A and B are shown apart, each in its own frame.
Chain A
Amino acid sequence: MKNSPRKEGRLSPGSAALWTGLMLATFVACVSLGSVNIPLRDVWNAVFGGEVSRETYRSIIWWTRLPRVLCAGLMGAALSLCGAAMQGLLRNPLADGSTLGVSSGAALGAALSIVLGISVPGLESAGPAAMAMIFAFGSLLMILALAWGIDRSFATHNIILIGVVFTMLVSALLSILITFSGEKLRSITYWTMGSLSGKSYEQAAVLLGGMILFGLPLFLQSRELNAFAVGEENAVHIGVPVRRVKLTVMICASALIGICVSIGGSIAFVGLIVPHMVRLAAGPNHRRLLPLSAFAGTVFLMLADLAARSILSPLELPIGVVTSLIGAVVFIVIFYRSRKGGIR
C-alpha cells in the first residue's frame, strides 16, 4: 500500500475519547444527583457495595437511579441514532425515527392493551409493552406494504406521505380510545407522553440488546446513508443497492423505536433535534454523524431526565416536556450561531 486510505469523515479517536469521557461524566453526575441529596461517598459505596450512612441511600441509588439513568442513556442513544439514520435515508431534516408512524402505532397498541385489558399470559404487567412492540412492527409492515403497492421501489416521498397520514389516523384512533377510556386515561397519556419513571435493569438490558441487534446494522450503513443524503438517484448510480439499504434502515430504526416506545413511551423531540444539532456542529457525514448522534443523544436524555426529576423536587416533570423545552432552546442557539457564521 503506497498511501494509507484516507480517514476522512471518520470519527477521530480523539473526539471518540472526548465523547466517551463526557458520557461517563454525565452518567456519574446523573447517578449522583437527584431530588434526594446523597453524599458522594455514599453514592460510591452504594454502587460498589460499601457501607452507606443510610440504607435508604442504597435503595435509591441501586434500585431507582442506576437503572433509570441507564435506560435514559440507552434510549437517548437509540432515538438519536434512528433519527439521524432516517433523516439521511429520507433526505429530509424533519424526519425522525417516528416518521414512519411506528411510535404512534406502538402507543396505540399500548393504549388498546390498557383499555381492553389485554395481557401476556404469565407476564401480566407486560401487556402494554408487548402490544406496543407488536403494533410497532404491524405499523411498519402496513406502511411498507402500502409503499410497495404504489410502485415497488419504496419511493421516499411516498413513504413520508404514508407515514404522516398513518400517524394522523392512529392519533385519531387514539383520541377515540381515550374518550372511552375514562379512568384509565392517565396510563394512556403515559404512553403518548413518555416517562422514565420506575425503569428496571431488565428494561435497560432489553434496550442494550436492541442497540446491538438493530443499532449496530444502522452504524454499518453510514456510507450508504451518505449516498442517500446526497440523493437517491445518485445512490443508484454509484452502486448502492438502494432497496436493500432502505429496508434495512427502516426495519432496524422502526424496531429500535418500537422497543423504546414499549419501554418509555414516545419521548418527543430527541430523535429530531439531536441529529440536527450534531449535523450543524460536525457536518452531515454519517460516519461521524451516527456515532456522534448516539453519544450526544445519550448525554442529552440523561441530562433531560435529571432535570425532569430534580428541578421541581419532590415533583417530577414529564420527560417529553423537558426534552422539547431544552431541545428547542439549545437548537435555536446553535442554529442562530451557525447561520450567523455562514452555512454549515
Chain B
Amino acid sequence: MLKAEHLMVRYGERTVLEDISLEVNPGEWHVIVGPNGAGKSTLAGVLGKTVPYEGTVRLEGKDIREIPAQEYARKVGVLSQNHSAVYGFTVEEVVGLGRYARNTGFLHRSDPDGAEKTDEALALTGLAEMRKRNMLTLSGGERQRVFLAQVFCQDPEILILDEPANHLDLPFQQELFTLIRAWLKTPGRAVITVMHDLSPARKYGSHALLLDRGKRAAQGEVSEVLTPKTLQVVYGMDVYGWMREMLTQWK
C-alpha cells in the first residue's frame, strides 16, 4: 500500500539518506533501526511529508506529493518525536485535533464520530481521567501518550511512529506494543515504527530496515535482518553479547 523508491535526502552537502526503498503491505509491521544519526527519523519525516526529499513515495499507486494533506492524513497517521508545548491546551483538545482530516460538510465542521473516537483514544492510552489536564503540566511520558492518543484518534490505515516508546515506563511500553499489535489485526492496516531499542523491534516487527549512516545496511524479514552478525557490523560492537551480559545481572 505504501511504496518508497530511491529516496534521497540532502542537507546542503551532507547526504542524510541515500537510495532507500521500502514497500509496506497490509498486515506488516516494519521496524526501522540503526545507530544514532543513521537517518531513521529522517525517513519517518519523509513518509510524514515534513522532510523534503528526492525519489518517490506512492500511496496506493499515487505519488504522495499529489495527495492533498487532509486525504493523506486520513490514510497515514504520524507520530513525531518533537512535541514541546507552548500553549496550555487541554489533553482532549490536542487529542481531538486528530479528527481534523475527518471533518466534512460545510466549512469542514461536521464529524459525527468525533466525540466517540476521541473518548476511545483517550481510554486506549489511559488518559480518560486526565482529559481536562493542561498540556503544560504534563510529564514527558504523559505528553507522549497524548500524541499517541491523537494519532489513534486520527484513525488512519498506516501508522508511522517515531520512537513511540519514548519517555514511557515499562508497563506503558508493554501496553503500547500490545495495543499496536491488536490494532494491526484489523485487515488493511500496517505499521512502521522507528526504534532504537532492538529487543522490542525484534519481538514485534515483521520486517526490518537497518540503516547505517544514511545507507541501507540490511533489509527484509526481522529474523534475517536483526541477527547478531549484522548488528555487530553496523554498531561496531558485540550487541548480542552485551544484551546477554545485561541479562545476567538479574540472575
Contact = CB atoms under 8 A, between A and B. Distances in A.
A/B contact in complex, CB under 8 angstroms: yes
B49 A284 contact: no
Contacts of B87: 88, 91, 93, 229-230, 279, 284
B98 A236 contact: no
A220 B118 CA distance: 22
B94 interface: yes
B25 interface: no
Given A5-B111, A236-B50, A229 B90 contact: no
B115 A3 contact: yes
Given A5-B110, A230-B94, A238-B100, A284 B89 contact: yes
B92 interface: yes
A55 interface: no
A26 to B, nearest CB: 28
A239 B83 contact: no
Q: Chain A's interface: helix, strand, loop or mixed, by majority?
A: loop
A226 B86 contact: no
Interface string A1-21: 111011011000000000000
Nearest to B115: A6
Contacts of A226: 89, 93, 97
Nearest to B49: A236
A80 to B, nearest CB: 17
A233 B93 contact: no
A229 B86 contact: yes
Interface residues of B, number: 49
A220 B96 CA distance: 18
Given A226-B97, A241-B68, A285-B89, A236 B48 contact: yes
B237 interface: no
B137 interface: yes
A284 B88 contact: yes
Given A239-B69, A283-B89, A284-B89, A233 B150 contact: no
A8 to B, nearest CB: 7
Contacts of B77: 237
A343 interface: yes
A175 interface: no
B60 interface: no
Given A91-B86, A229-B89, A283-B90, 7 more contacts: A1-B112, A6-B115, A231-B84, A234-B150, A236-B48, A237-B48, A237-B80
8 contacts: A93-B86, A223-B103, A234-B83, A234-B97, A237-B77, A240-B69, A241-B70, A242-B69
Interface of B: 48-50, 52, 68-74, 77-80, 82-90, 92-94, 96-98, 100-101, 103, 107-108, 110-112, 114-116, 118, 134, 136-137, 147, 150-151, 154
